[in-house]
Amino acid sequence: MQAKLKAYALLLVLAFVPCPQAAWGGTAGAYALEPLGVQELVRLAIRVNPAVKTARSKWYSALHRIKQNYAPADPQFNFINGDSYSNGFTQPAYRTYGISDSFQFPGKASLHGDIATHTAEIARLSYYASMRDVRAETEAAYYQALLDRALAEINADNIASLRKVLKVTQVAYAANQVTQSDFISAEFDLAQAEQRQRRFLTNEMNDLTALNQLLDRPPDSPLRLSPRLELRPLKARVDELVARATSARQEILQAALSVHNSKTALRLARMEYLPDYTLSYFFDDYYYGSAAPAPGRLQDHGEAVSVTLPLFFWMKQNEDIESAHHDLAAARDNFESVRIQTQAAVTQAYRTTQLAYETALVYRDSLIRLARQNFEVALVGYQSAKIDFVTLSAALANAYGARIAYLRAANEYLAGRVALERAIGEPLAQ
């Protein structure tokens, strides 16, 4: 009875212990109670994204292809049932037992192992590049979702302002102070804004679906995001970022390793002139003295060495060397191309990001406030018949456009930081 009570108590405790699956939300449930920020989403995506897991498995696979390059070929066991005068299987005159194994010329195995080691390093860099790309895609999707949500919120405020304008024009039209055109235009602007709101909400749902895809979850799984956006200036200079990218970007390091492998492949091609060889050992057991090499000697031993001769070198070895020369030239050109492309990408992304940051600050600190004040003044002026509806509508459009322009500049800045991190190959300093 006491044992049962302990078991029930343990089950009761476990029932209230949060499990990782519940915190993650499973495949269709909600995430944890706390909304997720960009860093939490990045950690989750790197852990569960199929592309990252695929790249990691390929790296592990490449690691397990290194040792086999140092091992010789499997030996062969030979058996001969010789000079059987019955059926070929019984009553032989002699039996020969032998073992042989093939070996590469000394040094070739080490070079093959060197290529395999650097190939595994290339796979490791591909794994890191996959994590880098998933991080960038997750951050970009997160910022895009926040942008579309903010656009919907601003458009909702604009709808409220348009309803004010509609009410003002309705009152003015009822008092015969304005024409019906003003009232119809206000209705049209309101309906257009409401339709735009549906598009913003749809965009936000699509953004969440894109995030769920990166998190390896069903498209409509609920997802709560923490709206934390910070505009932090770029502290590093562009030449510093270019230098970091040259030494850290995975594609540049992969290209450098490919150059090294091409050099090693050229050395191996030249070593094809050096002979590979096979060592063999034989033991003969004779059943009849007449079959033995000498009277009274019914057993003997033998060894054999066979080597490869580059007899057709002009068709094989020479062509392999020429091919390896061209592969090495291609690897070097590719390395230089990747290096130059990376430097250009970092420079362009830096300029675009810096401009977006400065633009966002101008709208946030000045233009949004001025546009809002202008609309308030225009609304009062329209009510007192000092300005026409076109001027009022333009003032409202400017107020709405300034907030939208700020959000787009802020999003462009954040997307630029993501592009910079992707081009550099590592996160920027916070």
Chain segment 21-52, per-residue pLDDT in tens: 333 444 334 444 578 888 899 999 999 999 99
Residue 346, pLDDT > 60, answer yes
Q: Residues 150-186: pLDDT tens digits?
A: 889 988 988 998 898 888 888 887 887 777 888 888 8
Confidence grade of residue 194 (pLDDT, cut at 50, 70, 90):
very high
Task: Please tell me the pTM assigned to this model.
Answer: 0.79
Q: What span, in angstroms and rounded, lies between the C-alpha atoms of 361 and 363?
A: 5
Q: What span, in angstroms and rounded, lies between the C-alpha atoms of 144 and 140?
A: 6
Confidence grade of residue 297 (pLDDT, cut at 50, 70, 90):
confident
CB count within 10 Å of CB 328 equals: 19
> What is the structure's pLDDT at 265?
92
Confidence grade of residue 13 (pLDDT, cut at 50, 70, 90):
very low
Supply the mean pLDDT for the chain. Answer: 86
> What is the structure's pLDDT at 56?
95
CATH architecture of 39-71+107-273+312-424: Up-down Bundle (1.20)
The answer to whether 342 touches 252, Cβ cutoff 8 Å, is yes
Confidence grade of residue 137 (pLDDT, cut at 50, 70, 90):
very high
Residue-range domain boundaries for the chain: 39-71+107-273+312-424, 74-103+276-309
> What is the structure's pLDDT at 31?
46
